Amino acid sequence: MEKLRTAVIGVGTFGENHARAYAEYGRSELVWVCDLNEERGRKVASRYGARYTPDYEEVARDPSVQAVSVATPDFAHTEPVLRMIEAGKHVLVEKPLATSVEEARKMVEAAKDAGVVLMVDFHNRWNPPFLRAKREVLEGKIGEPLVGFARLSDTIYVPTEMLSWADKSGPQWFLMSHTADLMCWLVGKQPRKVYAVGEKKVLKDMGIDTYDFVQAVLRFEGGTSVTLESCWVLPNSIPRLIDFQVYLAGTKGRISVEVGFQGIEVAAEELSHPFVLGQEDAYGRTVGFVQEPIYHFVDCVLDDRPPQCPGEDGLRTTALIEAALRSIGEGRPVDIEL
């Protein structure tokens, strides 16, 4: 059976998941691991049987590599993605596609011109409660979506200890990119206007110049309204890293999802709510919604099918968040230019 030859650029906290998925999936093999951090890169490469390079040029120049994941920090996706597309590779990029519309558009256009797949890893579209929610909406169970709410927040550990580049991102890019995509996908319409507010206080006082929270009201075509809320300063005493709730009411019903608590609580030395739906070891093979979109990307490339989350959806999310930031600056609702 033909196996897709893959590479991963950026194997920090999240990129390692891509390396593991390519190495474990029966239809792909991991050829290269690229990371500026040599110690980290070599460790991940040896763990999954791949070669290591600190320079993504080496990946671009290897004609045997067909597909590449880019999981560098939020603000550092564009250059490696454009280089891989130029070299004719299919690309799976972590969310958000980019932190500016200009860069996101460049990537979408370059992929179109080169005829390669560009997919954004909006993995919540594989998260079982949301898969079910989407089916309920499509089957008309709640009627026409009217009003919704999505909160995805992190404990303050994430911007202060987990990420070294929090000041170059923010809850709007790191977190709200997930819920913006999710609600556009669930509602099934295009967002037209956004009014957003945000505050910089707690993190700024700690020397990290980014928003503590952003709250945004989206108006969709046809009148549906959705509020998105992402906060980056929740207390570390919460027994999980994330707080994640979604609500969507329609003309005939409503859906409510609580995914922060994934059905298991462990009370040991500390109280914890492990992240089991995302990924869990099932007898030597990882299962979960973190892995599934990566397998989907491999399938789409090998079977010549369009992906679930094409670059255009990443561009829409970036446009929405860029407009939200403009709205915060101007203190009024603004149009989302798509």
Can residue 72 be called a binding residue for ligand NAD (CB under 6 A)? yes
Please pick, from the candidates 71, 156, 182, 242, the single residue that binds ligand NAD as defined by CB under 6 A. Answer: 71
What is the rounded distance in angstroms from the CA atom of residue 284 to the CA atom of residue 281? 6
* Closer CB to ligand NAD, 148 or 278, in the complex: 278
Helices and strands per DSSP (H, E), number in the chain: 12, 17
Give least dist CB 210 to ligand NAD, A.
Answer: 13
What is the rounded distance in angstroms from the CA atom of residue 10 to the CA atom of residue 80? 10
In the region spanning residues 134 to 173, those forming contacts with ligand NAD, defined by CB under 6 A, are 163-164
SS3 call for 164:
coil
- Locus of tokens 């070891």: 281
Max Cα distance, the chain (Å): 57
Exposed, middle or buried by CB within 10 Å (0-12, 13-18, 19+), for 150?
buried
Give least dist CB 73 to ligand NAD, A.
Answer: 5
Please pick, from the candidates 52, 73, 101, 248, the single residue that binds ligand NAD as defined by CB under 6 A. Answer: 73
Please pick, from the candidates 25, 33, 74, 83, the single residue that binds ligand NAD as defined by CB under 6 A. Answer: 74
Can residue 34 be called a binding residue for ligand NAD (CB under 6 A)? yes
Can residue 181 be called a binding residue for ligand NAD (CB under 6 A)? no
* Closer CB to ligand NAD, 36 or 147, in the complex: 36
Burial 151-173 (b: 16+ CB within 10 A, else e): bbbbbbebbbeebeebebbbbbb
In the region spanning residues 109 to 138, those forming contacts with ligand NAD, defined by CB under 6 A, are 121, 123
Can residue 174 be called a binding residue for ligand NAD (CB under 6 A)? yes
Q: Applying CB under 6 A, what is the total number of residues that bind ligand NAD? A: 26
Question: For residue 139, what is the DSSP state?
Answer: T
* Closer CB to ligand NAD, 169 or 224, in the complex: 169
Three-state secondary structure readout of 33-59 = EECCCHHHHHHHHHHCCCEEECCHHHH
Please pick, from the candidates 4, 7, 9, 50, the single residue that binds ligand NAD as defined by CB under 6 A. Answer: 9
What is the rounded distance in angstroms from the CA atom of residue 100 to the CA atom of residue 318? 6
Give least dist CB 226 to ligand NAD, A.
Answer: 20
Can residue 295 be called a binding residue for ligand NAD (CB under 6 A)? no
What is the rounded distance in angstroms from the CA atom of residue 320 to the CA atom of residue 183? 12
* Closer CB to ligand NAD, 8 or 194, in the complex: 8
Please pick, from the candidates 35, 181, 313, 322, the single residue that binds ligand NAD as defined by CB under 6 A. Answer: 35
Can residue 190 be called a binding residue for ligand NAD (CB under 6 A)? no
What is the rounded distance in angstroms from the CA atom of residue 251 to the CA atom of residue 255? 12
Instruction: Tell me which stretch binds ligand NAD (CB under 6 A): 28-36, 106-114, 137-145, 258-266.
Output: 28-36
Please pick, from the candidates 68, 76, 108, 150, the single residue that binds ligand NAD as defined by CB under 6 A. Answer: 76
Can residue 32 be called a binding residue for ligand NAD (CB under 6 A)? no
Q: Confirm if 83 and 173 have CB atoms less than 8 A apart.
A: no
What is the rounded distance in angstroms from the CA atom of residue 8 to the CA atom of residue 294? 11
Which of 44, 58, 182 has its CA nearest to residue 123? 182
Can residue 82 be called a binding residue for ligand NAD (CB under 6 A)? no
What helix, strand, coil percent values describe the chain, rounded to 5? 40, 25, 35
* Closer CB to ligand NAD, 174 or 213, in the complex: 174
Can residue 12 be called a binding residue for ligand NAD (CB under 6 A)? yes
Interface contacts to ligand NAD, rule CB under 6 A = 9-15, 34-37, 40, 56, 71-74, 76, 80, 94-95, 121, 123, 163-164, 174
